């Protein structure tokens, strides 16, 4: 009897874990990079992996804003997010390939949950939530790109150059969404 209960318990645990919790794509990317990469530091890989996740999220948020924003400014900003974040993500993928860093192919669980909530909203509730989410994202990203661009922060020269080059773009996105929010 005891020998039957253990396998059944393990099977039950496996089923409950696999059905209710999906492994986070960002954590998987970090684990794969750690096993695979011989040319990147943890600092570099964490930055690229987390910022790739953020670029994917901003693109998806932008797509929703281009479809559901109640004003032309929000819809246009959403379109800009899709265009700029797609280009930036492609640059990140190229850099990650050079540095043997595995980037996530899907959003982190946390970002996926946030996107699910945004998808449910319409009208001014959508606008307010979108502006709040994208502002928080870009404030975090400006800080991350700024930190990564500094020599004293322990990032490789490639990451520093990439961050320095793209920090003005991320800052301009933050400035634009702040202007939109101020006008509402």
Neighbours of 175 (CB within 10 A): 13
**pTM to 2 decimal places:** 0.80
Q: What's the pLDDT score for residue 37?
A: 52
Question: For the ranges 33-47, 51-65, 69-83, which has the lowest average pLDDT?
Answer: 33-47
pLDDT at 47 over 60: yes
**What DSSP string runs through 36-77?**
H-SS--HHHHHHHHHHHHHHHHHHHHHHHHHHH-SSHHHHHH
| % of residues, the chain, pLDDT over 90 | 70
Q: What is the pLDDT of residue 16?
A: 37
pLDDT at 17: 43
Question: What are 118-147's pLDDT values in tens digits?
Answer: 999 999 999 999 999 999 999 999 999 999
Which residues in 58-92 are b (16+ Cβ under 10 Å) and which e? bbbbbbbbbebbbeebbbebbbbbbebbeebbeeb
């Amino acid at each position: 009897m005891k020998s039957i209960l253990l396998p059944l318990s393990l099977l039950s645990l496996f089923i409950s874990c696999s059905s209710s919790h999906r492994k986070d794509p960002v954590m998987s990317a970090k684990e794969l990079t750690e096993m695979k990469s011989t040319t990147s530091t943890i600092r570099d890989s964490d930055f690229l992996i987390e910022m790739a996740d953020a670029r994917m999220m901003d693109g998806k948020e932008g797509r929703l804003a281009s479809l559901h924003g109640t004003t032309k400014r929000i819809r246009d900003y959403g379109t800009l997010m899709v265009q700029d974040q797609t280009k930036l993500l492609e640059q990140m993928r190229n850099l990650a390939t050079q540095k043997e860093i595995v980037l996530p192919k899907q959003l982190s669980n946390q970002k996926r949950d946030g996107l699910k909530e945004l998808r449910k909203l319409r009208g001014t509730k959508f606008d307010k939530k979108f502006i709040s989410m994208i502002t928080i994202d870009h404030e975090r990203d400006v800080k991350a790109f700024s930190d990564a661009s500094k020599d004293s922060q322990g990032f490789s020269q490639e990451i520093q150059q990439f961050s320095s080059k793209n920090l003005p773009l991320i800052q301009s996105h933050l400035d634009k969404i702040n202007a939109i929010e101020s006008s509402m």
